[in-house]
């Protein structure tokens, strides 16, 4: 379980997260919606320990990310996929995937490579194992990024606007894979602007506004007139996003 308790985070004078509470249970897909600057990405970055909290507590399976001793365990349990892929440019797709399993989990190289190849095949990149990041399209890079996170066998997958840098066709490539993962029971925290897709795969939807968690409802209720849409800010956001 990922537990976010009363988390506050400020960058200088700007408060980005203002008392956020959130629980993600194993098996859930929780989508985080909100306009740019609402704190969505910062929340993900707090969960994987890239940002220090100003107040509050985040635990991943009871490991406190603010405690250096616990952070390594917490990070083993969560995998992050980034908006701009962040692949290691000097390594092939397969090397990107096997580096952490071999170095951190101490898996034998041959095993890690076999698993890496299987992962690549499962996202339709079986023949690109030896390609470098610069030789892959954006959609392919992001699929490698997903494989790299999955190779650590995380219990939770943290997805930070993973399709924002992709064109619609490549976005579809990546979303297809996420849909499969969701159907397979992978627990995900999904920061996104893809509202329709979030509606299809999410068990719950959370709406952030100016660092505050405005709505946290099961998907069907979120889109119901009496549920999330009853919040004027949510209704406004959804109508605007759908128009675009």
Partner 1 sequence: MLPGAGRPGGSPPPFDPLDSPVRSVTVKPVSLNGARVRLDLTILIPHLGFLAEGALLTAEVCALALVGSVLLGMLVAIARTSSNKWIGRLAFAYVDLFRNVPFIVQLFFFYYGLPEIGIYIDAFTTGVVALSISGGAYASDAIRAGILAIDNGILEAAEVSGLSKRVTFTRIVLPIALRTSVRPLGSVLINMILTSSILSTITLNELTGQAKIVASDTFRPFEVYVVLLVVYAALTYLVSIGISLLHRRLNRDLVEQVS
Decide: is 189 part of the binding site for partner 1 (CB under 8 A).
no
Cβ nearer to partner 1, comparing 78 with 171:
78
Give, as ranges, the residues between 94 and 113 that touch partner 1 (CB under 8 A): 99-100, 103-104
Shortest Cβ distance from residue 113 to partner 1 (Å)? 16
Shortest Cβ distance from residue 175 to partner 1 (Å)? 21
The full 3-state SS of 178-204, as one line of letters, equals: HHHHHHCCCEEEEECCCHHHHHHHCCE
Distance (Å, rounded) from C-alpha 210 to C-alpha 46? 16
Shortest Cβ distance from residue 87 to partner 1 (Å)? 8
Decide: is 153 part of the binding site for partner 1 (CB under 8 A).
no
Angle at 80 between CA 11 and CA 119, to 5 degrees: 165
- Which one of 84, 165, 214, 217 is in contact with partner 1 (CB under 8 A)? 84
Decide: is 1 part of the binding site for partner 1 (CB under 8 A).
no
With the CA atoms of 164, 160, 32 and 209 taken in that order, what torsion angle do they form, in degrees rounded to the nearest 10? Answer: -80
Decide: is 148 part of the binding site for partner 1 (CB under 8 A).
yes
- Which one of 48, 59, 142, 192 is in contact with partner 1 (CB under 8 A)? 48
Nearest CA among 17, 28, 32 for reference residue 193: 32
Cα 14 → chain centroid: 24
Q: Which stretch binds partner 1 (CB under 8 A): 47-55, 200-208, 209-217, 230-238?
A: 47-55
Q: 129 is written with which tokens?
A: 């194992």
Cβ 243 vs Cβ 71: under 8 Å: no
Q: Residue count at the site for partner 1 (CB under 8 A)? A: 27
State the residue for tokens 């399976």. 61
Cβ nearer to partner 1, comparing 74 with 238:
74
Distance (Å, rounded) from C-alpha 186 to C-alpha 183? 7
Footprint of partner 1 on this chain (CB under 8 A)? 48-50, 72, 75-76, 78-80, 82, 84, 86-90, 99-100, 103-104, 132-135, 148-149, 152
């Amino acid at each position: 379980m990922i537990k976010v308790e009363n988390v506050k985070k400020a960058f200088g004078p700007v408060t980005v997260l203002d008392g956020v509470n959130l629980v993600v249970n194993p098996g859930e897909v929780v989508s985080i919606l909100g306009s740019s600057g609402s704190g969505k990405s910062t929340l993900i970055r707090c969960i994987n320990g890239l940002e220090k909290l100003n107040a509050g507590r985040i635990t991943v399976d009871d490991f406190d990310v603010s405690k250096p001793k616990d952070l390594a365990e917490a990070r083993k349990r969560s995998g992050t996929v980034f908006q701009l892929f962040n692949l290691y440019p000097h390594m092939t797709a397969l090397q990107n995937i096997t580096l952490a399993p071999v170095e951190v989990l101490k898996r034998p190289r041959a095993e890690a490579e076999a698993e890496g190849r299987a992962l690549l095949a499962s996202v339709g990149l079986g023949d690109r194992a030896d390609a470098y990041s610069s030789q892959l399209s954006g959609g392919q890079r992001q699929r490698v990024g997903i494989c790299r996170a999955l190779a650590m066998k995380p219990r939770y997958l943290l997805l930070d606007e993973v399709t924002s840098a992709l064109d619609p066709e490549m976005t579809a490539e990546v979303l297809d894979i996420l849909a499969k993962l969701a159907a397979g029971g992978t627990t995900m925290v999904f920061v996104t602007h893809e509202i329709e897709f979030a509606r299809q795969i999410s068990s719950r939807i959370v709406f952030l506004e100016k660092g505050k968690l405005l709505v946290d409802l099961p998907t069907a209720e979120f889109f119901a007139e009496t549920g999330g849409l009853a919040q004027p800010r949510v209704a406004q956001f959804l109508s605007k996003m759908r128009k675009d």
